[in-house]
Structure 1
Amino acid sequence: MNKTQIKSQATSKYIRTSQYKSRRVLEQIKGKSYSEARLMLEFMPYRICKIIIKTLDSAFHNMKQNLSINKKQVRIIEAYANKGPILKRFQPRAQGRAFPIKKPTCHITIKLET
């Protein structure tokens, strides 16, 4: 039986969180089915989960545009977070000094297939 595999992906860029915090969540959903991963994300206590759910839904709807697909057949083959640009700010301190603040960003990519 030679079934064609349908693949799709979605990327969220310039997300205002560290790539390490994102990877912690993405590692847990890698290899899971779409519906199982979405359920896991809804009950995780991390702030990044809402953004990952949006990216996951976007990847699923990118795939669904072509054909009617069963949610249970869709699997996450890749989920990763790459480093984005760092926003650099300064906090004023005593005696005219300045304390640097680094606000990291990341790019989240999720790839699905049937």
Structure 2
Amino acid sequence: MIEAHATARYVRTSAQKAKLVLDVIRGREVNAALATLQYARKAVARDIEKVLRSAIANAQQKDGFTGDVDRLIVSACYANEGPSMKRVRPAPMGRAFRIVKRTAHLTVRVSERQEAAAITDVAPASAGASEETEPAELTPSTKRAARKTPVKKRKRKKTGDAAGSRRASTTRRKTASKE
């Protein structure tokens, strides 16, 4: 099986923005991935397209390549953070704000798609091995609901016109002064 990769280093974009586009093409055929990148509305898609074309060319140069580009798929693609360029922007009252200009390292790996016949040959061998072992219990383990703690009931204070209560005495004073 042919596998090749290409890397673009120090690309002037953040790794976070590049990952948004790379997630779209991962696992696709290379022709479909190129079409997707061509119409993607992200600036980093142009850089990723260059890296993908380079990975395809690297695969064609390998010994044992059949010459059929349609059999290649994007097996892995990722973006790692590169070094950041730090700049200073003048700010009000003599201060300075820092601007971080990020870079990323883009890697795209392509490999040949496996044939369906090769997959079916492997399937019966693995099926026979699974019959010998006992299957795990099929019932899902359910977690019991947490028991609510009982809320303590508070004793209410009496708010009546008791002679000893402060509230009642202030109320009496106010009503007495009004009359």
Q: What's the TM-score once normalised by structure 1's chain length?
A: 0.93
Runs of 4+ in 1 over 6 A off after TM superposition: none
1:46 alignment counterpart: 42
1:58 alignment counterpart: 54
73-82 or 61-70, which moves further after superposition?
Answer: 61-70
- The residue type paired with residue 111 of structure 2 is E
2:89 alignment counterpart: 91
Q: CA deviation at 1:9?
A: 0.2
Q: CA deviation at 1:95?
A: 2.4
Give the whole-Å Cα distance in 1 for the aligned partners of 2:76 and 2:61. 20
Q: CA deviation at 1:93?
A: 1.5
Give the whole-Å Cα distance in 1 for the aligned partners of 2:101 and 2:77. 23
Q: What's the TM-score once normalised by structure 2's chain length?
A: 0.60
Match of 2:6 among 5, 10, 20: 10
Q: CA deviation at 1:69?
A: 2.0
Q: CA deviation at 1:18?
A: 0.7
1:24 alignment counterpart: 20
Identity percentage of aligned residues? 35
Higher strand share: 1
The count of corresponding residues between Structure 1 and Structure 2 is 110
The gaps in structure 2 that reach 5 residues or longer are 113-179
Give the whole-Å Cα distance in 1 for the aligned partners of 2:67 and 2:56. 9
2:74 alignment counterpart: 76
Give the whole-Å Cα distance in 2 for the aligned partners of 1:69 and 1:13. 28
Give the whole-Å Cα distance in 2 for the aligned partners of 1:50 and 1:68. 28
Q: CA deviation at 1:68?
A: 4.8
The gaps in structure 1 that reach 5 residues or longer are none
Relative contact order (alpha carbons < 8 A, sep ≥ 6): 1 or 2 greater? Answer: 1
Give per-residue Cα distances to partners, 1:41-74, cap 9 Å, x unaligned: 0001100010000000000001111345212100
